Amino acid sequence: MILLGVNIDHCATLRQARYRSADPAAGGAIEPDPVALAILAERAGADGITVHLREDRRHIQERDVWRLRENAATRLNLEMTCTPAMTALALKLKPDSVCLVPENRQEITTEGGLDVVGNRDRVHACVEAMNAAGIKTSLFIDPDEPQIELSAKLRAPWVELHTGAYANACHTPGQAREFDRLRLGASLAHLAGLVVNAGHGINYVNIAEVRTLPHLHELNIGHSIISRALFTGIGEAVREMKARMNS
């Protein structure tokens, strides 16, 4: 059974489009509420809730993650950049897990995996701090052997393979090549003793192939589920994705 983590960032994106400067204590007029969406997703079968608290706070806000910590019934997974400030916040929040991701202020959404090799010391310090606090750490990486090997050496228990290149290559000659990279990366990570997750660009069509990757533990999916929810409601969107993941 592959688990589903639902990323609710884009619910907050819609809220911030209207209420970016609103008083956070203004109450129910500030909508949509990502925490309410998370609760509905959990009731529909989501195995965890994922949020990315970006340094520029473009969508999810600190008040959101604290409310989620109080109200999430499943597992809270905090995506974050590898900085001392974010590490300190995570140690106070104590989410069930963190996923270390790269950040680029110019990007719309996360583009590419974390360069663990190029940022070894920073990543190692953050992983050690999370391990000491009992918080599981996942490294969001491209399916490349050097990144996978170092992730294991740094004692990160999980990796999340970046599926964006594969998703962007769908319906092109490069799709098979990118899927082979993911398949090999999943096998290498498993052999290295890492729990294998995946995410980015997964939707209701390419899930039919993504779900066949070996050793998958969890998929983190946001944009496609939030988009489908506009037409079907979040409950049906989550239930349909889970059914396609584990048909």
Q: Which residue numbers are catalytic?
A: 52, 79, 200
Q: Does residue 115 contact residue 94 with C-beta atoms inside 8 Å?
A: no
Contacts of 134 (CB under 8 A, 6+ apart): none
Residue with structure tokens 């294991």?
152
3-state secondary structure of 231: helix
82-93 burial by CB neighbour count: b if 16+ within 10 A, else e? Answer: beeebbebbeeb
Q: What is the 3-state secondary structure (H, E, C) of 143-182?
A: CCHHHHHHHHHCCCCEEEEECHHHHHCCCCCCHHHHHHHH
What is the chain's alpha carbon radius of gyration, rounded to the nearest angstrom?
Answer: 17
Q: Residue 29 is which amino acid? A: A
Task: Name the β-bridge partners of 159.
Answer: 139, 196
Which residue stretches of the chain are H helix? 9-19, 34-43, 62-71, 84-93, 120-133, 145-153, 164-168, 175-191, 207-210, 223-232, 234-245
